[in-house]
Amino acid sequence: MRLLVVEDDPDLARQLSEALVEAGYVVDTAHDGEEGHFLGDTEPYDAVILDLGLPTLDGLSVLERWREAGRDMPVLVLTARDRWREKVAGIDAGADDYVTKPFHMEEVLARIRALVRRAAGLASNEVACGPLLIDTKGARASVHGRSLPLTALEYRLLAYLAHHQGRVVSRTELIEHLYDQNFDRDSNTIEVFVGRLRKKLGVELIHTARGLGYSLVAPGDAD
Ligand code: CA
């Protein structure tokens, strides 16, 4: 899952980014409204954390422009304390949820988990696929109750497929959602990571749709 953080306070942006990376996401950061708007308009994020008080273009305008352009990714807005009008305006502009500053990082993480989960149509933090169980809260996975030793990238790959299970996900889509904007993207590496992940899973869950991409399918649900 790839997230965008739009926050002009450099310390806060860094804290958010570090906590989200620790929680298993890959994160792009923008420090003003123009840059944030551009990234959200051109890159496919699984969720966005958007501060409302931003230089160059305020957060509400950023959000309104995204929604007018049909960008429908989940957006969590950060609002100042005691600014209830700001909350109302944010929700009216298309925010999916808000957190009031100052906040506890755990609350932001829980709200982001919920937004990503809802966007995928999932009811719980645990995603199952046959014997595979993914705990999105702990950013870990197990097969038949046996914990899998996954790298951060392998976890992101598995979690992304699991959030879209039953659907073929193209290599391009995987690259867009597993790496941040600074990463030197090479679509061949996805095949290598899928190969490693299959070995670690030990069960046939990741199917290759030749020329199209990959899908996560529970045993017995194939075809
Ligand atoms: Ca601000």
The alpha carbon of 101 and the centre of ligand 1 are apart by a number of angstroms equal to 10
Instruction: Look at residues 88, 119, 150 and tell me which one is the last residue of a structural domain.
Output: 119
Which structural domain range is residue 181 located in? 126-216
The pLDDT assigned to 222 comes to 52
3-state secondary structure of 159: helix
**Rg (the chain; Cα; Å):** 18
The alpha carbon of 50 and the centre of ligand 1 are apart by a number of angstroms equal to 9
Cis check for the bond before 102: say yes or no (omega within 30 of 0): yes
Instruction: Look at residues 119, 138, 153 and tell me which one is the last residue of a structural domain.
Output: 119
The alpha carbon of 207 and the centre of ligand 1 are apart by a number of angstroms equal to 44
- CA-based nearest residue to 48, from 89, 10, 20: 20
Reported as half-sphere exposure (CB side, CA atoms, 13 A), residue 182 has a value of 6
Residue 223 has pLDDT above 60, yes or no: no
Total count of domains within the chain = 2
83 and 136 in a single domain? The answer is: no
The alpha carbon of 46 and the centre of ligand 1 are apart by a number of angstroms equal to 22
Instruction: Look at residues 82, 101, 119 and tell me which one is the last residue of a structural domain.
Output: 119
The pLDDT assigned to 9 comes to 97
Task: Give the CATH number, domain containing residue 112.
Answer: 3.40.50.2300
Task: Give the CATH number, domain containing residue 177.
Answer: 1.10.10.10
The alpha carbon of 187 and the centre of ligand 1 are apart by a number of angstroms equal to 36
pTM of the entire predicted model = 0.91
Long-range contacts of 35-41 (CB under 8 A, 24+ apart): 35/6, 36/4, 36/6, 36/62, 37/61, 37/62, 37/65, 37/66, 39/4, 39/6, 39/181, 40/4, 40/6, 40/66, 40/71, 40/73, 41/65, 41/66, 41/69, 41/71
The alpha carbon of 33 and the centre of ligand 1 are apart by a number of angstroms equal to 10
pLDDT tens string 6-64: 999 999 999 999 999 999 999 999 999 999 999 999 999 999 999 999 999 999 999 99
The pLDDT assigned to 186 comes to 67
* Element housing 55 (H / E): none
The alpha carbon of 163 and the centre of ligand 1 are apart by a number of angstroms equal to 32
The alpha carbon of 7 and the centre of ligand 1 are apart by a number of angstroms equal to 6
The pLDDT assigned to 19 comes to 97
